[in-house]
Amino acid sequence: MTGFKRFAYVIGGLATLAFGTPALAAGDAAADEAAIRSLNQTWIKSYNAGDAKTIIGLYAENAVLMAPGAPAASGSAAIRDYFVRDVAEVKKAGLVFSVLGKTEVGVSGDLAWESGAYLAKDKAGATVDKGKFLSVSRKKDGKWFMFRDIWNSDGPIAAAAPPTPPKK
């Protein structure tokens, strides 16, 4: 092979890498974005079904859950304890959660985030809570897991009970 042909092949290969990679990366980003949205949909569906086991499986082993009105739950055991209790209470109360509108998703390498708003309704269809959420996920062995998860109510903070007057 002549020097010119070798040079042309090298340049052609570099051009393919340079110009072909963005299209490939865009396809990967779209697939990752879809996977993050699917992760959230699985969470909502499982939560509404009272399926704590599936929810727990969506979290990384070293994840941190920051639910409203509760201390942060760090790690699989604490997250399991939280959801086993919480999902049972929600199912008993007949609450149904949904995401409002389209969420925002961002992906950068093996990290991704999703944010949006949620709505909780009771059995009669009345709104009992509305708020926002942010989940950060990490890809491990080709699969996405929630790594940090927080949601906050838009409602007012519950007032503390007035102090009990002293007995006379």
In a domain, 92, yes or no: yes
What pLDDT, on the 0 to 100 scale, is given for residue 5? 53
- Strand-pairing partners, residue 145, are 138
In a domain, 168, yes or no: no
In a domain, 162, yes or no: no
In a domain, 164, yes or no: no
Q: Where in the sequence is the domain holding 70, given as residue range(s)?
A: 7-153
In a domain, 166, yes or no: no
144/153 Cα distance (integer angstroms): 26
> Structure tokens of 59?
């979290």
In a domain, 131, yes or no: yes
What pLDDT, on the 0 to 100 scale, is given for residue 15? 45
pLDDT tens across 10-44, in order?
A: 444 444 444 444 443 455 889 999 999 999 999 99
State the Cα angle at 151 between 66 and 44, rounded to 5°: 105
Question: DSSP H helical segments within the chain, as ranges?
Answer: 3-49, 52-57, 76-93
In a domain, 75, yes or no: yes
In a domain, 2, yes or no: no
pLDDT class for 9, splitting at 50, 70, 90? very low
pLDDT tens across 106-159, in order?
A: 999 999 999 999 999 999 999 999 999 999 999 999 999 999 999 999 988 776
Please state the domain count of the chain: 1
What pLDDT, on the 0 to 100 scale, is given for residue 48? 95
pLDDT class for 63, splitting at 50, 70, 90? very high
Domain of 122, CATH number, reads 3.10.450.50
